[in-house]
């Protein structure tokens, strides 16, 4: 659990910024070898959870700022032959301060880059994922997460209402994310330590 000091109660915005920055610092301090090893353990837990959830359409995020890199795992998920149709998707920001859309992703496709340099499918119909793997900078046991402060996932999940699985490293675990009224909790949290049903999750 993060040991970052938290501003006094009542200043939740400052507390969230401090916790977010501390979690980012901790994550970026991991060596490449540490990150690969921890991500491998996350993948093993995702294997079990995603098999249980059995989505036809599974969305994930391109790794950003030291987040767990799930691209190889998603490729393996797509290649599994179990008689079920499988579709992977990536989020696309189409308008500032609006919900994102999801477009189909395949490992060999050409991608465009948004203003942050994050790749995404340049075109294609919007699809609705059954399960979304949501990156977490920091998170608490209730399932509330701290992203980058833009609110994109909260707006998006409120519209499409999939099963939301927060994915992050245990170094990002905190006592509370100081959730705001509009925050949507994750249904599950997956770290290198395991897959945990979130206390405030919707399902």
Tens-place pLDDT, residues 129-157: 999 999 999 999 999 999 998 889 999 99
Residue 162 CB partners (closer than 8 Å, separation 6+): 59, 128, 129, 130, 131, 132
Model confidence over 153-200: pLDDT tens digits? 999 999 999 999 999 999 999 999 999 988 999 999 999 999 999 987
Model confidence over 59-112: pLDDT tens digits? 999 999 999 999 999 999 999 877 788 999 999 998 888 899 999 999 999 999
Handedness of CA 42, 157, 91, 89 (dihedral sign): positive
pTM of the predicted model as reported, rounded to 2 decimal places: 0.91
What is the share, in percent, of the chain residues with pLDDT greater than 70?
Answer: 94
């Amino acid at each position: 659990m993060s040991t970052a000091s938290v501003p006094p109660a009542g200043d939740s915005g400052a507390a969230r910024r401090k916790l977010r920055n501390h979690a980012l610092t901790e994550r970026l301090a991991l060596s490449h070898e540490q990150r690969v090893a921890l991500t491998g353990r996350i993948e093993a837990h995702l294997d079990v959870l995603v098999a249980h959830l059995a989505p036809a359409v599974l969305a994930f995020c391109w790794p950003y700022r030291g987040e767990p890199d799930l691209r190889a795992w998603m490729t393996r998920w797509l290649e599994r032959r179990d008689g079920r149709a499988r579709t992977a998707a990536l989020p696309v920001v189409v308008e500032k301060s609006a919900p994102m859309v999801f477009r189909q992703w395949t490992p060999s496709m050409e991608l465009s880059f948004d203003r942050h340099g994050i790749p995404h499918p340049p075109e294609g119909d919007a699809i609705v994922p059954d399960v979304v793997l949501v990156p977490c900078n920091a998170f608490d046991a209730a399932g509330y997460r701290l992203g980058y402060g833009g609110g994109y996932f909260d707006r998006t999940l409120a519209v499409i209402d999939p099963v939301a699985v927060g994915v992050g490293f245990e170094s990002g675990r905190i006592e509370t994310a100081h959730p705001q009224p509009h925050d949507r909790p994750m249904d599950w949290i997956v770290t290198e330590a395991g897959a945990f049903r979130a206390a405030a999750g919707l399902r």
